[in-house]
Structure 1
Amino acid sequence: MFLAMNRFKVKLGSEADFETVWRERDSHLRTVPGFKTFNLLRGPTKDDHTLYASHSVWASRADFEAWTRSEAFRKAHGSAGANKPLYLGHPEVELFDSVLAQSVEDQAA
């Protein structure tokens, strides 16, 4: 398993617009080999921003990297620059390889 995260510092007052962008965009992920799941998470609010994290799970790092070079990726990110006024700074990318995984199903066995 491989996890890709982007952290966004969203300007105070722009949270609803930011969430709408994500809710209404076509990510083109459903047809991408190796894609497992996506979540947008809202974190704490500070003096000047609310922290958000987008988080996608992939079968492997190779699947994620193939997606970043794909037409689906270009389509999904084509208008990303238009949303820069909603953030403080640039999104921070964080990439993780799975070392240990457990699930509820594992505990039942």
Structure 2
Amino acid sequence: MYIAMNRFKIAKGSESQFEDIWRNRDSKLKENPGFVEFHLLRGKTHDEEGFTQFVSHSTWESEEAFIGWTKSENFRAAHKTAGDNRSIYLGPPVFEGYTSVIDG
């Protein structure tokens, strides 16, 4: 199992807009071989720094399945508007990928 995550710092007050972007995007993740599940997670609001932490979390059967997704037409289509709404992002997303060593 492989878990792919992107961490986002979203400007305080823009949380609903960010959630709507994800809610309304046509990712077609379920059409990709090896896809298991997806979650968008909302974390703590850092008042002093002016952002709320979010994490996109997708689970795949393998790292190879995830890499296949990143090279697919579905991936390009899902990310074609990634540069829109720049004002709500405090920096680029930070990717983290993990291979499961213990399941259960």
Same fold judged by TM-score > 0.5?
yes
* Cα distance in 2 between the residues matched to 1:83 and 1:91: 14
Q: How many equivalent pairs are there?
A: 102
* Cα distance in 2 between the residues matched to 1:83 and 1:92: 17
Following superposition, the deviation at residue 28 of structure 1 comes to 1.3
Amino acid at match of 1:39: H
Match of 2:62 in 1: 60
RMSD: 0.6
* Cα distance in 2 between the residues matched to 1:16 and 1:85: 14
**Could you tell me the percent identity over the aligned residues?**
52
Match of 2:3 in 1: 3
**Are 1:28 and 2:46 an aligned pair?**
no
| Structure with larger Rg | 1
In structure 2, runs of 5+ residues without a counterpart are none
2:17 alignment partner, SS class: helix
Give the TM-score of the pair, scaled to structure 2.
0.96
Following superposition, the deviation at residue 30 of structure 1 comes to 1.1
* Cα distance in 2 between the residues matched to 1:83 and 1:10: 11
Amino acid at match of 2:85: N
In structure 1, runs of 5+ residues without a counterpart are 103-109
Match of 2:90 in 1: 88
